[in-house]
Amino acid sequence: MIETPSLLDKVVQQIDKLPLSNRDTKGDLYEYMLSKIAEAGTNGQFRTPRHVIRMMVELMQPQQDDMICDPAMGTAGFLVNAAEYIQETHEDWLLDKKFRDHYYGEMFSGMEIDTSMLRIASMNLQLHGIENPTLISGSALAERNDISSRYSLILANPPFKGALDSNEVENSLLKLTNTKKTEILFLSLMLRMLSLGGRAAVIVPDGVLFGSSGAHKAIRKELVDNQQLHAVISMPSGVFKPYAGVSTAILIFTKTNSGGTDKVWYYDMKADGYSLDDKRAPIANNDIPDIIARYQNLAKETGRARTEQSFLVPAEEIRDNGYDLSINRYKEVVYEEVVYEKPAVILEQIAQIDSERQALLNELKELL
């Protein structure tokens, strides 16, 4: 509420000074407002930090003929960033009428269960120049959703720790992973929605990487044996603060339906350019540029020791470990050797300290 005429006057005057004829300014302003929305936690929604979204987009490098989808769209951050990436790095593509028709038409698709979020996402896309996206209202996991083999790139941060009744879930998803857990069901959904050769980058809670249930093991086995799993990027637990302190990772894979996983690239992200507390203040340490540079030159990662921040793990070793994908299973920690004095020397030092303490105590008694 704007409760006083003078405050309203100030607001109008300030807005009047903004260069709102520039579409990018309106889009940036809207993104900033979205960052302040306190919707976190509703329906398992946690707003994905924009720098993490941008990193995932740069890792996947959207191509001219891509059909891009986010089945848990939220405010459409992934779709907006994918569009901005194309505008910034491939502006020449937009000179081609065929690509322009694709870009402004069917290139971007999203699904969202929350109708309020769907409206916010629609406005966000409009303000960023995506005028005719395909937006689908309702649960992407629902029985009526039969989309398959349509998209060539999926970017998503699906809900964590949600649970659905099996009668609410599309049957084909339950065949691969008979579970109520939304994070596993969404991975099954993405594999169905991707076209052959389609790529995905998805944020998952750490439990997906090492969970011992049949559904957890089944989805990991599917990714390693039947698809091509490229990378597991482990993120620190503070990335989603102040909304949640959950530990997460990014899975990057390609749908092949015929295997192809040779080696899986691991990266242990320790810093994302912001403090890992509730304040999330900017700091100097940032692994994101290194992650992007290394992922785009995986050939140079061969031979890196397991003690390094990034390394490759053979698929056979993952199979031998029961398809455990957690980085702690494969990362080697170097412990510094600490040398302690012998007990006799320590006892002698204690006796010396005790003697000095007694002398000081006697001196204090004399003063009193």
Taking residues 167-175, report their average pLDDT: 68
Domain ranges of the chain: 18-329
Instruction: Give residue-wise pLDDT tens across range 258-287.
Output: 999 999 999 999 999 999 888 889 999 999
pLDDT (0 to 100) of residue 203: 96
More reliable by pLDDT, 25 or 81: 81
With a cut of 90, say whether residue 20 has pLDDT above it.
no
Q: Looking at the predicted structure, is the pLDDT value of residue 43 above 50?
A: no
Supply the Cα-derived Rg of the chain in whole angstroms.
26
Which of the pair, 321 or 169, is modelled with greater confidence? Answer: 321
Min mean pLDDT across 84-98, 288-302, 327-341 is at 327-341
pLDDT in tens, 70-106: 999 988 999 999 999 999 999 999 999 999 999 998 9
| Whether 62 contacts 82, CB under 8 Å | yes
Per CATH, is 18-329 categorized as 3.40.50.720?
Answer: no
Share of the chain above pLDDT 90, in %: 61
User: pTM above the 0.95 mark?
Assistant: no
